[in-house]
Amino acid sequence: MREAAQLLGLCLDSVRRQLRAGKLQGVRVGRDLRVPERVLLAQLGLAARNDELPVGLAPAPLPNGMTRQEIKTLVHKAAQHADLSHRNTQRLLAELDDLLPA
């Protein structure tokens, strides 16, 4: 849940409040409460890797004419600043690869 809070830019208590209020979906694993990746991506306005675009809807162009590499570099720096683990940073970059148009 701590990493979910970091990705969402919220404190841990805010994530807990949102879970209790039903604004975020969580999954109980033993005594722990976890936020699924799909829920985090939806909250951030991103589609999961396996989600398909509706028929006739094309991927949005990259913002401000940025290249894929510029966006990945920006996200990597943000992940380091947020103190994400190396594993989670790599997972985030892999998700980004799937989401960005070629």
pLDDT, average across residues 5-21: 85
pLDDT bracket for residue 57 (50, 70, 90): very low
Tokens of 76: 């990597």
Strand, coil or helix: what is 27? Answer: strand
Can you give the pTM of this predicted structure? 0.43
* Per-residue model confidence as pLDDT tens digits over 81-93: 878 788 888 888 8
Find where tokens 């947020």 sit: 82
- Could you tell me what percent of the chain has a pLDDT over 90? 1
C-alpha distances (whole Å) from 80 to each of 7, 55, 56, 88, 97 are 11, 37, 37, 10, 18
